[in-house]
Structure 1
Amino acid sequence: MLFILVTCFSFILFFRYSLPIKPLPSWACEMRLLSFYFWKDLSILFPSAKFLNKTLSINFNSSMFSAKATKKNNTLSSASTTRNTESMMTTGTGQDKVEEEMSVLDLPNLALECILERLEPDGLCKMACVSTYLKDMCLSDHLWEGHMKKRWGRIVGSAAYREWQLHIASRKESSYFLAGEKEGGLLMGYLSKLWPVMLVRSSFSNHDGHVDSKKMKISSPQPPVDSIMSCYRALETGKFWFPAQVFNREDGHVGFMLSCYDADLSYDSHNDTFQARYPPHGRRAAAIETGVTWDRLRAPPVDTSPHDLHISDCLNDLRPRDHIEIQWRRNKQFPYGWWYGVVGHLEACNGNGSYCHCHESDTVVLEFNQYAPGSRWRHTMINRRDHREEGNEADGFYGGIRKLYSKDEISMWQQFWPAEILE
Structure 2
Amino acid sequence: MQFQNTRAFAQEMDARDPLKTYKREFIFPEVNGRPVIYFTGNSLGLQPKRTRKYVDEVMTDWAELAVEGHFQAGKPWWDYQERFAVPLSAVVGAQPSEVTVMNTLTVNLHLLMVSFYRPAAGRYKILCEAKAFPSDQYMLQSQVKFHGFSPEDAIVEIGKREGEHHIRTEDILDKIAEIGDELALVLIGGVNYYTGQVFDMEAITRAGHRAGAMVGWDLAHAAGNVKLKLHDWDVDFAAWCSYKYMNSGPGNASGAFIHEKHHQNKELPRFAGWWGHNKERRFLMEPSFDPVHGADGWQVSNLPVLSLAPYLASVEMFAEVGMDALIAKRDVLTAYLEYILREVDAQTFGEFEIITPDKPGERGCQLSVLLHGQGRPLFDYLMKNGVVTDWREPNVIRLAPAPFYCSFEDMYEFGKILKKGIDTLQTT
Q: TM > 0.5 between the two?
A: no
Q: Return the TM-score normalized by structure 1.
A: 0.21
Return the index of the structure with the highest Cα Rg. 1
Q: 1 or 2 for the larger relative contact order (CA 8 Å, sep ≥6)?
A: 2
